[in-house]
Amino acid sequence: MPIITVENLHKRYGEKVAVADVSFTVDEGEIFGVVGRNGAGKTTTIECVAGLRTPTSGTVRVAADLKQEVGVQLQDCSLPDKIRVGEALDLYASFYANPARPADLLAEVGLDPKKKFATLSGGQRQRLSIALALVGKPRIAILDELTTGLDPQSRRDTWELIERIKERGVTVLLVTHFMEEVERLCDRVAVISEGRVLAVDTPAGLIARADGSDRVIFRTTGSVEALKSLPEVASVSVVGDQVTVTGNRDVLHAVVAALPAGQIADLRTERTTLDDAFLTLTGL
């Protein structure tokens, strides 16, 4: 039984269609990603799920109390400059019936409760924002672009935090445009383009869908004619002494087994990445 069901969501502002037709379901306990280019309709979609916007048509069902049991982290939401980190968390904790202990959350996100909001770095603000989304001990956390603008270390720290949230059984709905983030965190993703869902799948499923082929690239002085007849190989191309062989997942083993040892140099393989899959799916 899904905890979030979105069916034929359509949202229009005047003449401008922000979301054309989006449907997906999120199961309890999973990390579900919504990916797409800027302006694809990701944020509008999850703001409809969070109850911040009313769909023009279509249905959004959330099997939880939107105010008490759903924690939301939004883009472009900040706090008063002079509020201290500890005050902000205590304040938000006071809004909920059964909140987490602010001190525990602060330790988890590694923030100093005495610091004022204005003095926090971008990464610290982002972590505070996540902490505020979690302070009500939500069953569902909705996080919009949570690592945009963070340095690589803060980004990894944030990912670990999300993984710990998932371990507690919290369902996470995550908007992102980082494929690395999707690969690391998401159980399933919906790829959205121009307000429509192109695919809903696991990250591995998306890669397989886009183009399953692997490429083996090496230099050799010997003949590569024999490779062309192998069942694992789809194509062989030679430019000077550089050879590129494409094929299925076993193509690397087949190539290495078919050529005499000592004739291959600078061998590397390229796999279809989630980035490639995303670009293929969204039409580039």
Partner 1 sequence: MAVIIPARLAVVEAKLYLREPVAVFFAVVLPLALLLVLGAAIPDFRKPAEDMGGYRPVDTHLPAMMIMLSVLTVAFSILPSVLVLYRERGVLRRMSTTPVRPISVLTVQLALNVATAVIATALMLVFGNLILDVPYPRMFLAFLGVFVLGSVTMFGIGLALAAVAPNSRVVQGAGAGVMFPLLFLGGMWLPRPLMPEVLVVISDYSPTGAFGQALTDVFTGRAPSLLHLAVLAVWAAAAIFAAARWFRWE
Please give the full DSSP string across 180-226, using - where no structure is assigned.
Answer: HHHHHH-SEEEEEETTEEEEEE-HHHHHHHH---EEEEEEESS--GG
**Residue in 50, 54, 119 with CA at minimum distance from that of residue 82:** 119
Taking residues 135 to 174 in sequence order and writing x for each that binds partner 1 by CB under 8 A, - otherwise, the string is -x--------------------------------------
Q: How far is the CB of 77 from partner 1 (least distance, A)?
A: 3
Q: Reduced to 3 states, what is the DSSP secondary structure of residue 142?
A: strand
For partner 1, the closer CB: 83 or 279:
83
CB of 216 to partner 1, least distance (A): 50
Number of residues located near partner 1, criterion CB under 8 A: 26
Q: Which of 8, 57, 59, 95 binds partner 1 (CB under 8 A)?
A: 95
Residue 74 touching partner 1 (CB under 8 A): yes
In the sheet that holds 264-270, the strands lie side by side as: 233-239, 242-247, 214-220, 264-270
For the segment 32-51, give every residue that binds partner 1 (CB under 8 A). 50-51
CA distance 85 to 67: 22
How far apart CA 211 and CA 244 sit, in angstroms, is 17
Instruction: Identify which range of 18-26, 55-63, 84-92, 264-272 contacts partner 1 by CB under 8 A.
Output: 84-92
d(CA 234, CA 185): 33
User: Does 76 participate in binding partner 1 (rule CB under 8 A)?
Assistant: yes
Sites of contact with partner 1 (CB under 8 A): 50-52, 67-68, 70-72, 74, 76-80, 82-83, 87, 90-92, 94-97, 132, 136
